[in-house]
Amino acid sequence: MKKILLVTDGVFHPPLTARMALRKTLVGLDGFKFQHVRSMEKLLNNLGGFSAIVIYVHHNKISDTALKKLDGFVSNGGGILGVHTATASFKRQTHYFEILGGRFTGHGPIESFEVSRVKDEIFGDIGDFVVKDELYIHELQPGIETHFTAKHEGKDTPVVWTYHYGQGNVCYAVPGHTTATMRNETYQKVLQRGLAWVCGE
């Protein structure tokens, strides 16, 4: 049984109903046990028993203590699944984005866009899908591997990426501004597969 720490918070951004949909999506996985906290400041003193942390919050500040715990957790083999606002939080902490693989720089309007699959093995037979959401744009760390893209100003921009930090695995997925997105069955499979991958499966 893999223990997962689910860090989610918000009423409007991310929406409460979207956070509930994420929890339902992940809790349905066999072999995973979840514990929920509302803030990165609530990271447990002993993260050794956890396989991964799921981050779906939009907060402004993270303490040096919490960031050090996060760094140590991933460096030593823990996983992170970041969703939507994960890369738009803690904007003053450059090191946080070095861990996640990218820093949010902006987004366009909420609109429908196609998420296109880049062929690889991690996400199996999951194909292209469409969401109505915010398309986040990022400054990216060297070494990310892109698995899904969407068109931004005529160019492909990463929508789902994986990344290695120390001995740990990181997966980040852009969509997540709306509840409808978090209820999209194909996107739910992406998140489930991403969590399994960061846990080493």
Q: Is the pLDDT score of 74 beyond 90? A: yes
pLDDT of residue 78: 97
> What percent of the chain lies above the pLDDT cut of 70?
100
Domain residue ranges of the chain, discontinuous segments joined by +: 2-198
Mean pLDDT of 39-48: 90
Q: Which residues does 41 contact at the CB level (< 8 Å), separation at least 6?
A: 62, 63, 66
Q: How is the chain classified by DSSP, letter by letter?
A: -EEEEEEE--SBTTBHHHHHHHHHHHHTSTTEEEEEES-GGG--S--TTEEEEEEE---S---HHHHHHHHHHHHTT-EEEEEGGGGGS-TT-HHHHHHHSEEEEEE--SEEEEEEEPP-STTTT---EEEEE--EEEEE-TT-EEEEEEEETTEEEEEEEEEEETTEEEEEE---SSHHHHT-HHHHHHHHHHHHHHTT-
Q: Is the pLDDT score of 48 beyond 90? A: no
Mean pLDDT of 2-12: 94
- C-alpha distances (whole Å) from 186 to each of 25, 101, 193 are 11, 24, 11
pLDDT of residue 119: 83
pLDDT grade for 181, boundaries at 50, 70 and 90 = very high
Q: Is the pLDDT score of 159 beyond 90? A: yes
Q: Is the pTM of this model over 0.85?
A: yes
CATH match for 2-198 among 3.30.200.20, 1.20.1260.10, 3.40.50.720, 3.40.50.880? 3.40.50.880
Mean pLDDT of 137-153: 96
Q: Is the pLDDT score of 28 beyond 90? A: no
